């Protein structure tokens, strides 16, 4: 998972104002999709700005197992020589997806309508996560799926010999499930229709259009339906991956809570299906400006300027949850420093992420002296405002990169340091997190005892 091969505790301590420019790595969601779609067209796709985090590297290796050639050129551009829709070959070994729910769920879709068999496995966290949400629709295409009870990983998929297109309403708000179905629909004849009641990130739809697939999107009384014409000939692309708003969230929120901070975070993807956190922070009173707003590769982007701010608690509406689903851990940190209560509703999907994120945050924050209430689908943080937050704990991160980064950011502003039990999972999504934060002025160190 990283240069460290055993749990690596890290300490975060009160820091002086954060200053400077934070160049954030590429978007994780778009990086996975670039590799997979690149592998599904004949010819060469070039990807600039690919996230080189472990999750995405695992997907790159997996695409090679399915027969594509994937290579990093000396200038950092990734080249994928794809095999075409329906052109995957059978992997010789099990596909190790590491920590990545997105990787495994999208890849299962991409091979489920091709007559090959593949076994997927992952780390301890991924092996606990529910897979029925993808195997249920993939079975309807004609695939067979065999896993541990649940089903959970390790899981084997026998791709459909004669796939049929499906019409499916996704029962949980999940871009991974929607995308898995669309990728399976690529190699099915006829039209596949997937309906979502709540809008989730739409990178797959945008990218499929970019790759030349025929895709129609219609709003109706059930939500949004995406209709894909099967068996297209995809056209190779030159992709520029925007910088990840979910990673940008960590320096942005750190600047809001560390007094005197003033930072610039350039070129951040601001797709509306991803930008819910920034909207919420502005409602809390954050000094957060969008500068140089423009479009890159079909995605809206802007430079963010963020200054330390006195914040007030807010109620985050449930219909915003999908657009900031990965940002609740760091929002919970910010809310701890705000005046008054922050109420987050409609967030039960957080319970099936890399960890149960409601529980992991509630535990760590309570230990730090913040009052937290939780229910199956909600969390309330009682912000401490001018009293500040004590800290002085070692917290468990449950192999969850976002829990780890959230508490490291918190420690920059608490009275006493915060130690996390293991820094390694951060490598899955934000490999240069420590260096980037330290360059801004953050006091983050691998624990001395280590």
Of 99-138, binders to ligand S3P (CB under 6 A) are 102
| Strand 43-48 to 238-240 pairing | parallel
Contacts of 57 (CB under 8 A, 6+ apart): none
- From the CB of 384, what's the least distance to ligand S3P, in Å? 28
- Residue from the set 99, 113, 114, 176 that interacts with ligand S3P by CB under 6 A: 176
- Residue from the set 175, 252, 302, 331 that interacts with ligand S3P by CB under 6 A: 175
115 or 151, CB closer to ligand S3P? 151
- From the CB of 392, what's the least distance to ligand S3P, in Å? 31
368 or 409, CB closer to ligand S3P? 409
8 A C-beta contact, residue 45 and residue 80: yes
- Residue from the set 179, 261, 414, 434 that interacts with ligand S3P by CB under 6 A: 179
Secondary-structure breakdown of the chain: helix, strand, coil percentages, each rounded to the nearest 5: 35, 30, 35
Of 196-215, binders to ligand S3P (CB under 6 A) are 201
- From the CB of 133, what's the least distance to ligand S3P, in Å? 8
Whether 96 is catalytic is no
Distance separating alpha carbons of residues 142 and 318, to the nearest angstrom: 35
Q: Is 29 a binder of ligand S3P (CB under 6 A)?
A: yes
Contacts of 268 (CB under 8 A, 6+ apart): 24, 242, 243, 244, 245, 248, 301, 302, 303, 304
Binding range to ligand S3P, per CB under 6 A, among 10-18, 47-55, 174-182, 362-370? 174-182
Q: How many angstroms from the chain centroid is the CA of residue 410?
A: 20
Here's the x/- map for ligand S3P, 338-367, by CB under 6 A: it reads as -----------x------------------
Which alpha helices (H) appear in 125-224, and where do they start and end? 132-140, 175-186, 203-210
Q: Is 327 a binder of ligand S3P (CB under 6 A)?
A: no
201 or 305, CB closer to ligand S3P? 201
Q: Is 331 a binder of ligand S3P (CB under 6 A)?
A: no
8 A C-beta contact, residue 120 and residue 94: yes
Catalytic one among 27, 55, 202, 326? 326
8 A C-beta contact, residue 230 and residue 160: no
Greatest CA separation found in the chain?
A: 64
- From the CB of 226, what's the least distance to ligand S3P, in Å? 14
CA–CA distances in Å: residue 285 to residues 21, 104, 251, 271, 282 = 22, 38, 17, 22, 5
- Which residues lie across from 61 on neighbouring strands? none
E strands present in 241-395:
262-269, 287-296, 299-307, 315-316, 339-345, 371-375, 378-384, 391-395
8 A C-beta contact, residue 417 and residue 411: yes
Binding range to ligand S3P, per CB under 6 A, among 14-22, 175-183, 340-348, 377-385? 175-183
8 A C-beta contact, residue 185 and residue 230: yes
Binding range to ligand S3P, per CB under 6 A, among 170-178, 268-276, 299-307, 420-428? 170-178
- Which residues lie across from 117 on neighbouring strands? 158
Q: How many angstroms from the chain centroid is the CA of residue 288?
A: 22
CA–CA distances in Å: residue 448 to residues 9, 115, 231, 419, 445 = 9, 53, 56, 11, 8
273 or 445, CB closer to ligand S3P? 273
103 or 411, CB closer to ligand S3P? 103
18 or 325, CB closer to ligand S3P? 325
12 or 174, CB closer to ligand S3P? 174
Binding range to ligand S3P, per CB under 6 A, among 168-176, 217-225, 226-234, 329-337? 168-176
User: How many positions of this chain bind ligand S3P (CB under 6 A)?
Assistant: 10
- Residue from the set 45, 99, 110, 174 that interacts with ligand S3P by CB under 6 A: 174
- Residue from the set 202, 326, 400, 419 that interacts with ligand S3P by CB under 6 A: 326
Q: How many angstroms from the chain centroid is the CA of residue 163?
A: 30
Query: What token pair was written down for 181?
Result: 């179905």
Which residue from 4, 7, 48, 9 is spatially nearest to 30, judged by alpha carbons? 48
Binding range to ligand S3P, per CB under 6 A, among 62-70, 171-179, 308-316, 332-340? 171-179
33 or 424, CB closer to ligand S3P? 33
Q: Is 247 a binder of ligand S3P (CB under 6 A)?
A: no
The terminus-to-terminus CA distance of the chain in angstroms comes to 18
102 or 355, CB closer to ligand S3P? 102
Q: Is 325 a binder of ligand S3P (CB under 6 A)?
A: yes
Binding site for ligand S3P (CB under 6 A): 29, 102, 174-176, 179, 201, 325-326, 349
The set of catalytic residues is 326
């Amino acid at each position: 998972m990283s240069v460290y091969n055993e749990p690596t505790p890290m300490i975060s301590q009160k820091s002086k104002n954060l200053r400077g420019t934070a160049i954030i790595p590429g978007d994780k969601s778009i990086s996975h999709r670039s590799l997979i779609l690149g592998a599904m067209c004949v010819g060469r796709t070039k990807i600039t700005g690919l996230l080189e985090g472990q999750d995405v590297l695992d997907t790159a290796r997996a695409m090679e197992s399915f027969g594509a050639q994937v290579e990093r050129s000396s200038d950092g551009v990734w080249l994928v020589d794809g095999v075409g829709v329906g052109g995957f070959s059978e992997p010789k070994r099990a596909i190790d997806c590491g920590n990545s729910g997105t990787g495994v769920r999208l890849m299962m879709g991409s091979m489920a309508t091709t007559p090959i068999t593949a076994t997927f496995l992952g780390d301890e966290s991924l092996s606990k996560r529910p897979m029925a949400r993808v195997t249920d629709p993939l079975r309807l295409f004609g695939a067979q799926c065999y896993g541990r009870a649940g089903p959970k990983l390790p899981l084997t998929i026998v791709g459909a010999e004669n796939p049929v297109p499906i019409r499916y309403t996704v029962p949980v708000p999940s871009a991974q499930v929607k995308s898995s179905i669309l990728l399976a629909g690529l190699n099915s004849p006829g039209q596949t229709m997937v309906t979502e009641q709540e809008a989730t990130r739409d990178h797959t739809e945008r990218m499929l259009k970019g790759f030349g697939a025929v895709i129609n999107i219609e709003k109706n009384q059930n939500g949004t339906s995406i209709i894909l014409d099967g068996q297209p000939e995809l056209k190779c692309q030159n992709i520029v991956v925007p910088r990840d708003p979910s990673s940008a969230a960590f320096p942005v929120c750190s600047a809001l809570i560390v007094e005197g901070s003033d930072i610039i975070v350039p070129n951040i993807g601001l797709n509306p299906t991803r930008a819910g956190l920034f909207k919420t922070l502005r409602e809390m009173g954050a000094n957060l400006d969008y500068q140089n707003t423009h479009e890159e590769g079909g995605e809206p982007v802007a430079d963010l300027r963020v200054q330390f701010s006195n914040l007030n608690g807010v109620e985050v509406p449930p219909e915003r949850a999908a657009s900031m689903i990965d940002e609740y851990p760091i929002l919970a940190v910010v809310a701890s420093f705000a005046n008054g209560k922050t109420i987050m509703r409609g967030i039960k999907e957080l319970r099936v992420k890399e960890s149960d994120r409601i529980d992991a945050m509630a535990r760590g924050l309570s230990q730090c002296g913040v009052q937290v209430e939780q229910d199956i689908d909600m969390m309330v943080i009682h912000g401490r405002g001018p009293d500040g937050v004590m800290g002085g704990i070692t917290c468990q991160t449950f192999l969850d990169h976002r829990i780890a980064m959230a508490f490291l950011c918190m420690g920059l502003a608490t009275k006493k340091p915060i130690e996390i039990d293991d820094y390694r999972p951060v490598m899955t999504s934000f490999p240069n997190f420590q260096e980037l934060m330290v360059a801004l002025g953050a006091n983050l160190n691998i624990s001395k005892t280590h």
